[in-house]
Amino acid sequence: MATAMVEAAIFQGLSWNPLADLRELFAYPFMVNALEAGTIVAVMGGVIGWFMVLRRQTFAGHTLSVIAFPGAAAASLAGLPLAVGYFGFCGLGALALAGIAGSRRSLSAESAAIGSLQALALALGFLFVSLYHGVLNGLDSLLFGTFLGITGRQVTVLLAVAAAAVALVAIAARPLFFASVDGDVARARGVPVRALGFGFLLVLGLSVAETSQITGALLVFALLVTPAATAHQLTPRPGLGIALSVTLALAVTWLGLALAYFSIYPVGFYVTSLSFGLYLLVRVSRALASRRRTTGRLALEAA
């Protein structure tokens, strides 16, 4: 961390003292708000993302985060508050996705259905935007977010939403884990698998919708997928995996925010690059380790 800071400082020609730079990070309220918001989103993304990756619902998760866009566009067209559009559309989307997943057709039919749903959502969003005229400027910020313009009130809203989402997942954690790992056995044991699946998608959709309003859909998606995928590569144990996923998400968010502060490039770039780099590193080292094991076994067999 310290070396990265020093590098960042060289970038700006600030100082050679990492402690002074660290102090400067907390000097401005907007930076404190961004760090708080980033921490909240990272914890939420780490926990919910771990289950999303376990359930192989990355495509569904991305579709849900896209559905927020037509929701917002429809609400501004109808003159309703934005939140109504966000929550209404995300609820409907979760319902549709749960129906697709629940009908237990083949993997290919599910993939086609989710893709069609997402394309329809985007098409509707674009239709609403062009009927409404000229909110296209908001599109970039809706997609990519403005992490550095967060107010104190928004941090409170984020905290409430994230706490509710994490609490819901924590309450249902054991049956959800059971249902995700082996749906058939769980159903036979009386676990309400379909209801859990729908509930999980609803929580995922609503939390993504609310947080992407504030930080942009990109960052939420990045924090949902990559740290969780890395954690799944490292350990199959649920408790340790979730802790690892949260830790990684926190680390990349803080480091990304700090790097973005000392350079002119956006937060999203740093956070996604850091987490993807970690993921690649773990993948490559695992592949190398398994190759070494295989060659070792072959050598033993030969001898």
Partner 1 sequence: MFAHEFMRHALIAGSFVGLACGLVGYFVVLRAQVFAGDALSHVAFTGALAAAVLGLNILAGLFAATILGGIIMGILGDKARADDVTIGSLFAWTLGLGVLFLTIFTTQDSAGNGTAGVRVLFGSIFGLSTTDVRNAVVLAVLAGALLLAIARPLLFASLDTAVAAAQGVPVRALGLVFLALLGLVSAQATQAVGALLLLGLLAAPAGAAHRLTTRPYLGLALSALFSVGSIWIGLTLSYVFPTLPPSSMIIAAAVGVYVLALATTAARDPSAFWLRQANGNVA
**180 touches partner 1 by CB under 8 A:** no
Residues 114-173 that bind partner 1 (CB under 8 A): 114-116, 118-120, 122-124, 126-127, 130-131, 136-137, 139-140, 144
End-to-end Cα distance, the chain: 46
| Interaction between residue 264 and partner 1 (CB under 8 A) | yes
Contact yes or no for 46/223 (Cβ under 8 A): yes
- Selected from 174, 283, 286, 291, the binder of partner 1 by CB under 8 A is 283
**Candidate list 84, 113, 159, 173; residue touching partner 1; CB under 8 A:** 113
What does the alpha-carbon distance between residue 207 and residue 87 come to, in Å, rounded to a whole number? 9
**157 closest CA partner among 212, 221, 80, 219:** 212
Q: Is 236 near partner 1 (CB under 8 A)? A: no
Q: At what angle do helices 238-262 and 217-234 cross, to 10 degrees?
A: 140
Angstrom distance (rounded) from CA 178 to CA 98 = 18
Q: Which of residues 187-206 bind partner 1 (CB under 8 A)?
A: 187, 194
Question: Are 41 and 159 contacting, i.e. CB atoms less than 8 angstroms apart?
Answer: no
Selected from 48, 158, 161, 229, the binder of partner 1 by CB under 8 A is 229
User: If binding is defined by CB under 8 A, does position 225 make contact with partner 1?
Assistant: yes
What does the block give as tokens for 103?
A: 């009908």
Chain residues binding partner 1 by CB under 8 A are 53, 56-59, 61-62, 102-116, 118-120, 122-124, 126-127, 130-131, 136-137, 139-140, 144, 184, 187, 194, 218, 221-222, 225-226, 229, 232, 264-266, 268-273, 275-276, 279, 283
